[in-house]
Each structure stands twice: as structure tokens, then as C-alpha cells.
Amino acid sequence: MISKTRTVLAAGVLAVALGLGATAQASAGTLRSVSGKPTDNVTRIADFYGTYIDAVYEEDSGDLRDALRGHYLTPAFQEELAAWEEQEHADGVLRAQNVPLAWKVTDKGTIGDHTEAVVTLTWGDTSTKLVVDMTRDSHRIFHIGEKGVGIK
């Protein structure tokens, strides 16, 4: 009886190792698609947060994190963020000391020379909403905070 149990268990482990378990799991899920445009500010904010969170989550040195900040944030805002981080002892982009497990970006509107979006960062049962403002011409973030700079 024990040898039959071991045989069945070994067969199950082998099936998972060969990918049969992964196939069943993948086919049970819903297929998703994500789209965007490099000229769309909400897409760019979502791209930034997705890549930034991946970089902070996966990399200890911070090189990619810093490169992303250099590419997506205005120089003046990078300086403002550094001062905020020094004072708060937290990551200024995430407004937290740890990395969220999920993120969502919602368009809040475009007015004048900038676009505003709400970024919802989630850690398990807790979430935080940040308002992110990006210029329309240079497509660079110039503000992250609890409130935006002017869209009601």
C-alpha cells in the first residue's frame, strides 16, 4: 500500500515538473491584455510605476531605480524628492519604506500643460493613493503627493 502511495505521489510530482500542472493552471485563468501609447501621459505614468516597482523589488543597488528617476522625473522634482526622502526616511516615489505588491493608475484629467493621475499602491490589505502630475510637452513627472497641483 505504501509503495502505491509513493508511486502516485511520484507521478504527481513528475507531472507538475513536466508542466502538466502549469498547463491546467494557465488554461483556468482569464487572458488579459495591456495596451498603451508612448505619447499618452497616463500610459507613461503606469509604465514608470510598473518598471520602478519592479526595479526596487528586484534590485539592491538602485542603479535602475535611479536611471528611471532620471528619465521620468524632472530635474527639479528629483531634487525635491531627495529632500523629502532625507526627511521622511522612505522612498519618495512610493511614499513608503517597502515595496507595494500591486499598483493601479487611474486618469484624473488633463488641464493646461499637465495630466494628473491617481496611483493606488497596495500592500496586502492596505492601500495608498498618490496623485501624480506629468507635463504634457516633456512627458515628465513634476509632482507626487497626496493632492494634485490643480485639477479638481
Query: What pLDDT is stored for residue 60 in this prediction?
Result: 66
Q: What is the mean pLDDT of residues 131-135?
A: 97
Query: What pLDDT is stored for residue 116 in this prediction?
Result: 96
Dump pLDDT digits (tens) for 71-128. 999 999 999 999 999 999 999 999 999 999 999 999 999 988 999 999 999 999 999 9
Dump pLDDT digits (tens) for 28-64. 678 988 899 988 999 999 999 999 999 999 876 679 9
pLDDT at 129 over 90: yes
> Is the C-alpha dihedral spanning 37, 38, 41, 45 positive or negative?
positive
Query: What pLDDT is stored for residue 49 in this prediction?
Result: 97
Q: How confident is the model at residue 27 (pLDDT cuts 50, 70, 90)?
A: low
Query: What pLDDT is stored for residue 149 in this prediction?
Result: 86
Q: What is the pTM of this model?
A: 0.77
User: Strands across the sheet with 102-111, in order?
Assistant: 102-111, 114-123, 126-135, 141-145
pLDDT at 15 over 90: no
More confident residue, 10 or 70: 70
User: Which SS3 state, helix, strand or coil, does residue 120 take?
Assistant: strand
What are the φ/ψ torsions at residue 139 (nearest 5 degrees)? Answer: 55, 45
CA angle (137, 139, 142) in 5-degree steps: 105
Query: What pLDDT is stored for residue 28 in this prediction?
Result: 65
